[in-house]
C-alpha cells in the first residue's frame, strides 16, 4: 500500500488521526503543518479534545451535532444528512490553547482539520460558504471554500470542499504548491479526505513530481485520506461515481499560490 494512503482505522469512532508526527514517512519526511482527524459518531455519542498548540476547524461533513468550544456553546450544527446533498457545510473554528466537544444529535461525520495556531482568532461558527463552479466540460467541479485565503478566518488553515461529478477530473490540470517562494508559489502540505457516491465506488489520485522522484497513483475508496507532501496531485472520478473530497492545507504562509505542470498548463490557458 502507498505510504501516502491512509485507510480508516475503524468504521466508527475516531477513524482517522493524522498528526504531524504520524504523517512523516519515507515519502513525506519533513511534514510539519497539517493534521486531520475524522469522527463517525452514532446519535448520543460525545467526543472532546484539547487543541494544544493547534488551531482547529470542525467540518460537519454530514449529520448534526451540538458543538461547544473554548467555553462557548454553539448549539446544534449541521444540515445535510448525506454529504452528496451538496448543501453548504456547517463549520466551527477553535483556537489553539482551548478545547472542543461534540455530541451527536444524529449519526454524523465530523472532519477535524488542524494546523499550527497563533492565537489570532476566537472560537466561532464560520460563515456559510457559497458554492463556486470551477473548470469546464469534464473538468467541472463544485467548490465550497470553507476557509480559503480570501477570508481571514484562521491563522494557518486553508480548508475547502470539492464535489466532482462522475466521469470528471479534479485538482486538474495537475498543479503543485511545494516551494516557499511567494508570490510565485507557497509551500503547502495537503490532505484529501475522499468520499464516493454510490459508496462502493472508487476514484484515482496521482501524486507525482516533475523529476519522477515521487510518482504514485492511488485508488481511493470512501473515507480514505491521501497525503500530498509535494508534487502534483490530480484526481479522477470514474463514470458512475461522483467524488467528494475535503482538503486541508497549511504551510509557513497562509496563501495559496500554485503552478500548473508545464506540460499541461495549456489546458488552463485554453479554458480561461
CA 117 to chain centre: 17
Q: Tell me the C-alpha distance between 253 and 44, whole Å.
A: 39
Q: Which domain holds residue 192?
A: 5-270
pTM over 0.95: yes
pLDDT digits (tens, 9 = 90+) for 181-220: 999 999 999 999 999 999 999 999 999 999 999 999 999 9
pLDDT digits (tens, 9 = 90+) for 225-268: 999 999 999 999 999 999 999 999 999 999 999 999 999 999 99
pLDDT reported for residue 1: 79
- Phi, psi torsion values for 78, nearest 5 degrees: 115, 145
pLDDT reported for residue 25: 77
Q: Which three cell numbers stand for residue 41?
A: 459518531
Range 85-96 average pLDDT: 98
pLDDT reported for residue 24: 85
pLDDT reported for residue 29: 65
CATH at 49: 2.60.120.10
Range 134-151 average pLDDT: 96
Specify the 3-state DSSP secondary structure of 188.
coil
The number of folded domains in the chain is: 1
Range 123-131 average pLDDT: 97
| CA-wise closest residue to 234 among 139, 137, 133 | 139
Amino acid at each position: 500500500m502507498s505510504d501516502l494512503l491512509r485507510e480508516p482505522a475503524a468504521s466508527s469512532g475516531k477513524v482517522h488521526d493524522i498528526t504531524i508526527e504520524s504523517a512523516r514517512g519515507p515519502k513525506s519526511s519533513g511534514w510539519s503543518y497539517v493534521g486531520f482527524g475524522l469522527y463517525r459518531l452514532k446519535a448520543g455519542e460525545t467526543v472532546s479534545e484539547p487543541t494544544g498548540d493547534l488551531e482547529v476547524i470542525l467540518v460537519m461533513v454530514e449529520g448534526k451535532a451540538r458543538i461547544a468550544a473554548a467555553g462557548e456553546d454553539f448549539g446544534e450544527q449541521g444540515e445535510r444528512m448525506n454529504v452528496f446533498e451538496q448543501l453548504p457545510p456547517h463549520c466551527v473554528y477553535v483556537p489553539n490553547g482551548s478545547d472542543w466537544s461534540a455530541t451527536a444529535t444524529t449519526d454524523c461525520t465530523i472532519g477535524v482539520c488542524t494546523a499550527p495556531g497563533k492565537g489570532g482568532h476566537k472560537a466561532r461558527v464560520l460563515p456559510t460558504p457559497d458554492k463556486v463552479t470551477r473548470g469546464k466540460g469534464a473538468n467541472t467541479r463544485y467548490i465550497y471554500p470553507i476557509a480559503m485565503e480570501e477570508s481571514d478566518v484562521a491563522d494557518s488553515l486553508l480548508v475547502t470542499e470539492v464535489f466532482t461529478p462522475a466521469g470528471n477530473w479534479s485538482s486538474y490540470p495537475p498543479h503543485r504548491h511545494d516551494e516557499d517562494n511567494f508570490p510565485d508559489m507557497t509551500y503547502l502540505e495537503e490532505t484529501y479526505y475522499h468520499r464516493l457516491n454510490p459508496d462502493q465506488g472508487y476514484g484515482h489520485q496521482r501524486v507525482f513530481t516533475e523529476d519522477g522522484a515521487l510518482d504514485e497513483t492511488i485508488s481511493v475508496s470512501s473515507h480514505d485520506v491521501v497525503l500530498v507532501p509535494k508534487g502534483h496531485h490530480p484526481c479522477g472520478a470514474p463514470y458512475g461515481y461522483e467524488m467528494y473530497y475535503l482538503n486541508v492545507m497549511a504551510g509557513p504562509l497562509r496563501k495559496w499560490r500554485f503552478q500548473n505542470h508545464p506540460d499541461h498548463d495549456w489546458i488552463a490557458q485554453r479554458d480561461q
